[in-house]
């Protein structure tokens, strides 16, 4: 199996993702990083984000807007997408394993990973 070493670019991407809760897309990260590291390309950002997703260090999120978003928190949790302001937020539940068991019961399958994205209006958009 091909070994991937840590690269300067990958470490920069990790640094820009650290502690974020806004679930940026590759282009948003590129615009932020490119300001300080003009030699980095969008392709490099995207390839490294996909690699970090593949090794389970981050999550990729498809909310149906045609853009892949990235979440630096790899731990199981639910995402909520506001259809009005387009904000993605995290919802943490205590017993995520029970959610997998619930879905397995209705699918007769062994579920290894469960990805849940809820849609609606966030608190702020409901009150407008």
Which CATH number covers residue 115? 3.30.1490.190
Residues 87 and 66 reside in one and the same domain: no
Q: Is the pLDDT score of 94 beyond 60? A: yes
Residues 59 and 9 reside in one and the same domain: yes
Counting the structural domains of the chain, the total is 2
Residues 86 and 69 reside in one and the same domain: no
**Mean pLDDT score, 85-104:** 87
Residues 70 and 85 reside in one and the same domain: no
Residues 57 and 91 reside in one and the same domain: no
Q: Is the pLDDT score of 107 beyond 70? A: yes
Q: Is the pLDDT score of 2 beyond 50? A: no
Asked whether 49 and 7 are in contact (CB, 8 A), the reply is no
Residues 55 and 94 reside in one and the same domain: no
Task: With cut-offs at 50, 70 and 90, classify the pLDDT of residue 108.
Answer: confident
Residues 69 and 95 reside in one and the same domain: no
Distances (CA, A) of 5 to 38, 43, 47: 22, 18, 14
Residues 65 and 90 reside in one and the same domain: no
Q: Is the pLDDT score of 1 beyond 50? A: no
Q: Is the pLDDT score of 21 beyond 90? A: yes
**Token representation of residue 120:** 């609606």
| pTM metric for this prediction | 0.86
Parent domain of 1: 1-74
Residues 80 and 29 reside in one and the same domain: no
């Amino acid at each position: 199996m091909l070994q991937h070493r840590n690269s300067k670019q990958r470490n920069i991407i990790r640094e820009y993702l650290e502690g974020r809760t806004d679930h940026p897309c590759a282009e948003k990260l590129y615009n932020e990083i490119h300001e300080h590291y003009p030699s980095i390309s969008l392709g490099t950002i995207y390839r490294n984000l996909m690699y970090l997703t593949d090794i389970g260090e981050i999550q990729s999120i498809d909310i149906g807007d045609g853009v892949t978003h990235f979440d630096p928190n790899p731990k199981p949790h639910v995402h909520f997408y506001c259809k009005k302001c387009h904000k993605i937020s995290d919802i943490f539940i205590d017993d995520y394993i029970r959610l997998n068991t619930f879905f397995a019961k209705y699918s007769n399958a062994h579920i290894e990973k469960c990805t849940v994205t809820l849609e609606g209006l966030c608190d702020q958009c409901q009150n407008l």
